[in-house]
Structure 1
Amino acid sequence: MADLNVNEASKADATYENPDRHMREQFFDILNRKRIYSVYQPIVSLTDAGVFAYEALTRGPGQSVFASPLALFEYAEKQGLLYQLERIARERAIQGAHLPQRKQLLFLNISAAILQDPRFVPGQTLELLEEQGLAPGNVVLELTERSSIEDFTMAKKVLEHYRNQGYKIAIDDAGAGYSSLQAIAELNPDFIKIDRSLIRSIHTNKTKEYIVETLVTFARKLNIEIIAEGIEEEEELVKLTRMGVHFGQGYLLGRPDERFQSVPEACRNLIIQHRKIGFGDGSAWAIGDLKRQVQLFSVDTPISEVAGYFKMNKRATGAVVVEDGAPVGLVMRERLFQQLAGQYGFSLFWNRSVDQLMDKQPLIVDEQTPVEHVSQLATSRDIDNLYDLVIITSGGKMAGVASIRSILESITNARMESAKVASPLTGLPGNIQIHRELSRRLNEKKRFSVIYADLDYFKWFNDRYGFQKGDQLIQFTADVIQQAIAEYGTPLDFVGHIGGDDFIALSSAADPDRLCREIIRRFDAGVKKFYEPGDWTYVEDRSGQRVESSGVTVSLSVIVCQTLVPASLEHISEAAARLKKKSKMSPGSVYVIEELRPDVSSEAAGQSFK
């Protein structure tokens, strides 16, 4: 940028009353010499714990009064020079953006007021990106709340131009600015960043939790992804991860730095442990299970060749356009012929390349994405694109496609199967799914633990207080086991309801003892709410014999299946029955644990613990 001349400086003087000469000199020196730099803060996926993107943040000279970006941009706005400063900031951010992975995104802050500045010329950002070997698909334009949008019609027009080039849009500070909800409704962004005021202490504030839950549900219906800002405590990270928030950002996950940081190991472990891996019924299916092959064309293929393919293949509904093995566009049969059938359509497009007519923003998902989530993304598209093929990738490369019909059929079938075999009381998988999961784990020949849980004196409790309160106690037990698994298990652990007051958990946790202790701790602490203290001094066992007890307890029988030990469902069942009998001999809530090993006979007793 050329040095600001005297007239521009005079104009700035006229728009800013009583300027401090020293501050003004510093500011113009920063602008003329471009004495600002960018730092980058990671935005982390709360599903796979990887760095999804980096936000570029501007910093002024270290010893200057404008070292703080807030002071720098506020002064620029008062001087009427916000456009010039933001252009330099974008330039510096892009020049320093050496993204570790090609698929990662770069978030660039843009003040809403800039959209209405006549000097905000489309195409300038693209030139900077090309110089750095980046593409618009790598960039998210993040609208900040420094000023509200006054003309949404103009803003939508400008942003639509950028969207057509491949840029994505984010709305910053949702929940903080009075106009943020209107901006979301009018601009339909790709990302919503939830303000840190809603994130701080969310694990202890139910009101904040309910607001964020509402935003997550609302965003999912609109095919918008949520980013939680200002995460500084581990408890906040765990709560947001469990709630299904898509991405997180904050000092806990990484501070702004000139280096491109990775996710701290402790945070990675927390995310993997607590991530929400299910999106509802049918979540066991990944979209890659439904993929089928489709015709591929390169970006320079003539439209006449694509049309010829569809004429020769009447059953083909669409084709994918690829570049270097990665999908970049979609051509749907009916839409192509509609465009060619229009006035002058044939003569205008027949000899042009297919990238002139392809959909440049099709729905592209990784093969590991749950089918239920893909369904939500697909059905939230515009009505004109509702039945377009969904493109599936593997490692960013073309893998196949899935139709809306196949996606909806798989979800329907999964829900029907689940409804047939799930427990109607707890909603947990029933015996058919339990046997299937247990067999699968045995075939994998990997170490895992089988935890059988049943309640002591439940029949007496049910007879005394009635089936309604008995059902509540069974549901409570199911919740206790699942919560303990979430705390000390692994993301793919399984919990099933055998029937009545009997449950099973299959866990790959390295320390099953700790998991059992947590189940007992949670159960003993919570079961007291079902009766008043001192409500009884004895219970009755199934034979009607009185037993001194302060209430219902839980017994756990734990069989650890080792990697190299051959085992069967019968072996595990026999061991569980034996351990159950032993656990019932000890008063209170206990667990008994045994390892299936070649040198352990079927009569060997396990170890018993409180």
Structure 2
Amino acid sequence: MTAIHRNSIVQEDKTYLENEIQEILRHKMIHSVYQPIISLKNGSLLGYEALTRGPHNHPLHSPLPLFTYADEAGQLYPLDRLAREKAIQGAFFASGKELLFINISAAILHDPQFVPGRTLELLEAQGMNPDRIVFEITERSSIEDFSMAKKLLMHYRNQGYRIAIDDAGAGYSSLQAIAELQPDFIKVDRSLVQGVQFHKTKEAILETFVSFAQKLNIEIIAEGIEHLDELLYLTRMGVHYGQGYLLGRPSLEGTELAPDLVNHIVQQRKIHDTAGSTWSIGDLIAPIGTFDCKALISEVANYFKKHVNAPGAVIVSKGVPVGLMMRERLFQQLAGQYGFSLFWNRTIDQVMDAQPLIVDQHMPVETVSQLATSRDINNLYDLVIITNEGKMAGASSIRSILECITNARMESAKVASPLTGLPGNIQIHRELNKRLMEKKRFSVIYADLDYFKWFNDRYGFQKGDQLIQYTADVIQQSIVVCGKPFDFVGHVGGDDFIAITSSWDAERLCKEIIRRFDQGVRLFYEGDDWCYVEDRGGNRIEANGVTISLSLIVCELADTVTLEQISQSSARLKKLSKGHRGSTVHCECLGLEHRASSGSE
């Protein structure tokens, strides 16, 4: 076959598909399927992403060739408008509260007909409000004019629509798009999600996304979750939402998440939320007045007149909080012209704040503080509603929350390590005594660095301090990934650390510490490739650099174990570890008849 013949066939195929695009648009032969987006906090449903499909059993059924050939045929704008129309019209969940995520290409921002009027008409026909729509701007094509994009998207935002940056991490300008457009959601591309538990670089990038998203009050959605290990890992990292075949395939109807997956999410999230935290918001619960959502405004106003120190009241429906009425806001409503005649005999649900901050009693105070202070300035000092298993438990003021954090930090600063900020020896002894008094199984991990003096002498004290801080980070991150709620990390001093865990697989936690330490410590050598180190006597020892030695003491029956036994066991295991090359973990069980065992990485 000649090149001319091949080109002719290709051109014929292209012409055929472009004609098919025209036919599809003329007869509106596309439809949407909907893939669920799930909360990685409690397994609840956030909403659905609408995914466009062409005619069944057709070369353009898949969205990639469909939109590619539409672009080549100069029909991208009409196809995108039709896709939005079909996405809204096919939303089977229109009567609920779920969000609808609709994809729009960055190129579509140049469409002169890309205005909110038509979309709003479609929503009204479905009985939906703009605040349930999230426009996903795909990041696979570059946004060239950010000023124009910001102006257009601000117009949409003013109508109530929300914005997501799609495919973050896979395209041209993720960080610039996030910085310029200030989205409500960041959807992390599946290329970063798949196999994240095996790739240090992917893990570090995702941790960075989560960290700065928290500071900017943006929520992260991880796409392409297909395996349970990925789900568990992402949940422990603090990713907000997930999407993928494991959580639900694209469909024309709604699906419920399997109960076992919900349980996995709840348990793994507890590990993230409580890691390193002492106080929970439940410790600050204060009683507060409650009213049914159909109570008259006059009842609430009279309550505030009678209770002059009550800052607000919680509005409930069947014991579940659904709104908040702050004293000052209610009286402002009533103080306006005709305020009493307009509102006095109406129900409180007509004027209450229907989107207050509601948190579970087990949430750490620090986390609640971050959520509360990221609210709109008009709601900054509103009460925080606290629930117990979804039911009304009480409330807390911002003042109480900030006082708790301040006092906790002052107390911690008195006894914490100035270098790492971790609890020092006083808190370590308190924690060990507390565990022994609880008489439950727990494990103690002592960690110290091998050849740290050599490193300090070779690279200087500043680098040495950085290595100490890195080791503290490694242990804490490993606890988040492999530990349990209320696990503890302390800094004994120098290059010595301690971790106390209730995990039944503490050896796995030790291996994770070793894996992370060995992968990252090479960066501290400034490109040097060491084949030896020096011991404290200045003798050369064959080794590749600094390693970490772990002593694992498993307290099987804590009521038969003493602090002295733990200390003696740690000393024995430390001596064993120092006799082996490389990063190692040696284990011993207390409270049962046992023999010491050892293993190394």
TM-score for the superposition, normalised by structure 2: 0.74
Corresponding position of 2:398: 404
C-alpha deviations, 1:429-464, integer Å up to 9, x for none?
Answer: 212222233234334444322122334565677678
Distance 2:297 2:378 in 1: 21
1:377 equivalent to 2:375? Answer no
Aligned sequence identity (%):
51
Change (3 A) 1:263 1:425: farther
Name the CA distance, whole Å, in 2 between partners of 1:209 and 1:526.
11
Amino acid at match of 1:120: E
Structure-2 separation of matches of 1:465 and 1:115: 60
Partner of 2:306: 312
Counterpart-to-counterpart distance in 2, 1:53 and 1:383:
27
Deviations 1:212-258 (A, max 9, x none): 77765564345332224456799987986676442233457654345
> SS in structure 2 opposite 1:433?
helix
Q: Is the 8 A contact 1:253 1:267 kept in 2?
A: no
Aligned-pair distance for 1:478?
A: 3.5
Aligned to 2:300, the other structure's residue is in SS state: helix
Q: 3-state SS of the aligned residue for 2:554? A: strand
Relative distance call for 1:43 and 1:554 in structure 2 (3 A) is: closer
Mapped partners of 1:40, 1:56: distance in 2: 7
> C-alpha displacement at 1:93, in angstroms?
2.5
Structure 2 equivalent of residue 607 of structure 1: 597
In structure 1, the residue corresponding to 2:324 is in which secondary structure?
Answer: strand
CA contact (8 A) 1:171 1:189 kept: yes
1:572: Cα distance to partner?
2.2
Tell me how far 1:369 sits from its aligned partner. Answer: 2.9
Instruction: Name 1:453's counterpart in structure 2.
Output: 447
The amino acid across from 2:499 in the alignment is A
Separation in 2 of the partners of 1:310 and 1:423? 47
The 10-residue stretch of structure 1 (447-456 or 114-123) with the greater mean CA deviation from structure 2 = 114-123
Does the aligned pair in 2 maintain the 1:230–1:250 contact within 8 Å?
yes
User: CA contact under 8 A between 2:532 and 2:540: conserved in structure 1?
Assistant: no
Deviation at 1:513, TM superposition (A): 3.9
* Larger displacement relative to structure 2 (218-227 or 348-357): 218-227
| SS class of match (1:308) | helix
Deviations 1:142-192 (A, max 9, x none): 21448999798897677656x5xxxx7342427669899789977x76434
Q: Distance in 1 between matches of 2:417 and 2:437?
A: 25
Q: Which residue of 2 aligns with 1:39?
A: 34
Residue of 136, 143, 146 corresponding to 2:135: 143
Query: Contact 1:594 / 1:607 at 8 angstroms: preserved in 2?
Result: yes
Moved more, 546-555 or 487-496: 546-555
Select 1:433's aligned residue among 416, 427, 437: 427
Moved more, 294-303 or 392-401: 392-401
- Pick from 87, 107, 123: which aligns with 2:100? 107
Task: After TM superposition, give the deviation of residue 303 of structure 1 in Å.
Answer: 1.4
Evaluate the alpha carbon distance shift between residue 119 and residue 80 of structure 1 in structure 2; reply closer, same or farther with a 3 A threshold: farther
Distance 2:589 2:487 in 1: 19
Whichever residue aligns with residue 278 of structure 2, its letter is A
Secondary structure of the corresponding residue to residue 93 of structure 1: coil
Indicate if the aligned counterparts of 1:40 and 1:260 stay in contact, CA closer than 8 A: no
Among residues 536, 539, 561, which one is paired with 2:535 in the alignment? 539
The separation in 1 between residues aligned to 2:447 and 2:203, in whole angstroms, is 35
Following superposition of structure 1 onto structure 2, how do residues 202-241 of structure 1 map, counting pairs within 5 Å?
A: 216=210, 219-230=213-224
**Deviation sequence 1:306-335 (CA, Å, 0-9, x none):** 111111110011112222322222211112
Distance, in Å, in 1 between the alignment partners of 2:264 and 2:546 is 35
Amino acid at match of 2:135: L
- Structure-2 residue corresponding to 1:5: none
Give matches, 1:189-200, under 5 Å.
190-194=184-188
Could you report, residue by residue, the CA deviation over 1:464-519 in whole angstroms, capped at 9, with x for unpaired residues?
A: 87655554554454345445545654465432211233221223444444544555
Letter in 2 for 1:306: V
Q: How much has 1:520 moved relative to structure 2?
A: 5.2
Measured at CA, do residues 87 and 501 of structure 1 come closer, stay the same or move farther in structure 2, by a change above 3 Å? closer
One-letter code of the match for 1:39?
A: Y
**Within 5 Å, which residues of 2 pair with 1:75-90?**
86-90=84-88
Work out the CA distance in 1 between the residues paired with 2:20 and 2:464.
76
Q: Which moved more, 1:339-348 or 1:427-436?
A: 427-436
Count residues with an aligned counterpart: 560
Question: Which residue identity lines up with residue 225 of structure 1 in the other structure?
Answer: E
1:342 is aligned to 336
SS of the residue 2:421 aligns to: coil
Q: 1:573 to 1:218 in 2, by over 3 A?
A: closer
For 1:171, which of 145, 164, 173 is the aligned residue? Answer: 164
| Residue equivalent to 2:492 | 498
* Distance across 2 between alignment mates of 1:407 and 1:435: 27
CA–CA distance in 2 between the matches of 1:343 and 1:306? Answer: 20
Distance 1:510 1:262 in 2: 27
- Separation in 1, partners of 2:221, 2:586: 44
Q: Give unpaired runs (5+ residues) of structure 2.
A: 1-14
Contact kept, 8 Å, 1:140 with 1:170, in 2: the verdict is no
Give the one of 353, 356, 361 matched to 1:367.
361
Shift of 1:384: 2.0
**Residues 231, 584 of structure 1: alpha-carbon distance in 2 compared, 3 angstrom cutoff:** closer
For normalisation by structure 1, the TM-score amounts to 0.73
Q: Deviations over 1:518-551 (max 9, x none)?
A: 5556666776766873656x6346xx9x796657
Return 556-565 or 310-319, whichever deviates more.
556-565
**Contact 1:318–1:389 under 8 Å retained in 2:** yes
Alpha carbons 2:50, 2:87 under 8 Å: kept: no
Question: Alpha-carbon deviation of 1:353?
Answer: 1.6
Given candidates 268, 272, 284, the residue that maps to 1:277 is 272
Distance 1:230 1:358, change over 3 A: same
Deviations 1:327-359 (A, max 9, x none): 222211112112211122122212222222222
**Aligned partner of 2:133: which letter?**
L
Work out the CA distance in 2 between the residues paired with 1:539 and 1:183. 49
Which has the larger displacement, 416-425 or 464-473?
A: 464-473
SS of alignment partner, residue 289 of structure 1: helix
The answer on whether the counterparts of 1:455 and 1:553 sit within 8 Å (CA) in structure 2 is yes
Contact 1:174 1:180 in 2 (8 A): no
Q: Secondary structure at the match of 2:132?
A: strand
Hey, what's the Cα distance between the residues in 2 that align with 1:20 and 1:540?
A: 76
Give the partner amino acid of 1:260: T
Contact 1:555–1:584 (8 Å) recurs in 2: yes
Alignment of 1:441-520 (within 5 A): 441-455=435-449, 467-468=461-462, 470-482=464-476, 485=479, 488-490=482-484, 492-517=486-511, 519=513
Secondary structure of 1:123's partner?
A: helix
Structure 1 CA distance, aligned partners of 2:25 and 2:256?
Answer: 31
| Residues 1:387 and 2:381 aligned together | yes
Distance 1:215 1:532 in 2: 32
Which stretch of structure 1 is more off in the superposition, 520-529 or 399-408?
520-529
Residues 54 and 435 (structure 1 numbering): CA distance in 2 closer, same or farther, change over 3 Å?
farther
Distance 1:22 1:556, change over 3 A: closer
For residue 452 of structure 1, give the secondary structure of its aligned residue in structure 2. Answer: strand
Q: Secondary structure at the match of 2:535?
A: strand
Residue matched to 2:92? 94
Q: Mind listing any 5+ residue stretches in structure 1 that lack a counterpart? A: 1-16, 128-135
Partner of 2:118: 117
Q: Which residue of 1 aligns with 2:286?
A: 292
Distance 1:527 1:66 in 2: 50
**RMSD of Structure 2 on Structure 1 (CA):** 5.0
